Amino acid sequence: MKKIQMVDLKSQYEGIKEEVNKSLQEILESSAFINGPQVHAFQASLEQYLGVKHVIPCANGTDALQIAMMGLGLKPGDEVITADFTFAATVEVIGLLQLTPVLVDVDADTFNISIDALKKAITPKTKAIVPVHLFGQVANMEEIMKVAKEHNLYVIEDNAQGIGATYTYTDGSKAKTGTIGHVGATSFFPSKNLGCYGDGGAIFTNDDELAHILRGIVNHGMYERYHHDVIGVNSRLDSMQAAVLNAKLPRLDMYNAARRNAAKQYSTALANHPNVVTPKIEGDEYSHVFHQYTLRIVGADRNALMAHLQAKGIPCAIYYPIPLHSQKAYLDVRYKEEDFTVTNQLVQEVLSLPMHSELDEEQIQFITDEIKAFLG
Ligand SMILES: *Cc1c(COP(=O)(O)O)cnc(C)c1O
């Protein structure tokens, strides 16, 4: 059996090696490291893949979120609602821009922002909602957009874990995640579903005016060379990262299908186990791209199971061990523990198993056998 890894970028590279090596070599020869033709090609291909009017490449997913918020003109004191159970980047940029983060609880079934908690958190100061498509499962976008419209709020989708997922509306129409809100942000960090070989990110929008604003912000607030109209940042996707993404984007659906197959095999093997809650897929199968395959371990010692698996050479991880509302940097007197019962419970129960496009049946069989052997 091949050594089990949480993420296996090396095996994936074997499948695109010639193409990637050739493009990287071309960039080395041309020296067009920044703003090369690979960046423009990637932007156009991603716009087409997502069915969105504008993709603005940038340096990483955290920047993408920050630039999106800057582009929307959010001002210090504006409240931005996001999920308590997610990676810190989301809340970090809200704080950096001196906006007021308002963390709310999530749903235990989907790990995504709770619509009830969201509604309760809205005040006259609320200006935006940042749903996160956590672990690759689309958030309930139809409800979120409805709430946003009612209260005149912007929606910024954190699509760092959801790229390639498709949301299906109740009327049957479909849209790719990241293109449903006013603006979407994603990350091309190597381990993401569409990852480059360093840092990268992008912002998506269908709004022409916002796209124009965003393009200036990523480039020092310049709309005309050396005319700085607004305070911007320096945030670029470089040519080499774009070259890697150009090789991977045409394979993204295939990679995501492989992740879904692995998830299906995991869930079948662990179905109906009294101590295991397998991930629930809300919507059709395309609504989940399994950035992570995350179990809930109930009525058993999650940490001991994790130690057992690691001792057997099976990597696994807790995403995320501490709710954001309990993190030192984001403490707020307004938060009450009883408002975060689900997140507080999830951090005790979640366990993410190896998940990537190269996982094979033998490996999954071994992993699930070991889980069942430990739990009994
Ligand atoms: C990875 C990630 C980010 C940040 O992306 P970087 O490219 O690492 O800056 C933001 N939000 C979520 C949910 C993520 O998983």
Helix (H, G, I), strand (E, B) or coil at 165: coil
From residue 43, how far is each of 124, 153, 183, 237, 295 by CA, in Å? Answer: 37, 28, 16, 10, 35
Asked if 192 is an active-site residue, the reply is yes
Terminal Cα distance for the chain, rounded: 24
Q: What is the CATH number of domain 252-375?
A: 3.90.1150.10
Report d(CA 34, CA 236) in Å as an integer: 8
pLDDT of residue 359: 96
Domain ranges, ordered by start, for the chain? 9-250, 252-375
Q: Decide if domain 9-250 falls under CATH 3.50.50.60.
A: no
Distance 24 CA to ligand 1 centre (A): 25
b/e burial code for range 287-324 (CB count within 10 A of at least 16 → b)? bbbbbbbbbbbeeeebeebbebbeeeebbbbbbbeebb
Cβ of residue 239 lying under 6 Å from some atom of ligand 1: no
Q: In what order do the strands lie in the sheet with 276-277?
A: 276-277, 293-297, 350-353
CA–CA gap between residue 217 and residue 138 (Å, rounded): 28
**C-beta 177 within 6 A of ligand 1:** no
CA distance 182 to 8: 34
- pLDDT > 90 in the chain, percent: 100
Q: What is the pLDDT of residue 103?
A: 98
Distance CA 260, CA 256 (A): 6
Distance CA 11, CA 98 (A): 42
Q: Is the peptide bond before 320 cis (omega within 30 degrees of 0)?
A: yes
Kindly list the averaged pLDDT for each block of 10 residues, start to end, along the chain of length 376: 95 97 98 97 98 98 98 97 97 97 97 98 98 98 98 98 97 97 98 98 98 98 93 98 98 98 98 97 95 98 98 97 97 96 98 97 98 96
Element (H, E) at 374: helix 361-375
Q: How many Å apart are CA 218 and CA 67, to the nearest integer?
A: 7
Closest CA to 94 of 115, 124, 116, 74: 74
Q: Residue 136 Cα, ligand 1 centroid: separation in angstroms?
A: 12
Ligand 1 contact via 201 beta carbon (within 6 Å): yes
Collapse the DSSP code of 104 into the 3-class scheme (helix H, G, I; strand E, B; otherwise coil) and give the result: strand
Q: Is the pTM of this model over 0.95?
A: yes
- Answer whether 159 contacts ligand 1 (Cβ < 6 A): no
In a 10 Å sphere around its CB, with 0-12 CB exposed, 13-18 middle and 19+ buried, how is residue 173 labelled?
A: exposed
Q: Which of 192, 312, 328, 336 is catalytic?
A: 192
pLDDT of residue 180: 98
d(CA 366, CA 314): 9
Pairwise CA distance, residues 335 & 81, whole Å? 13
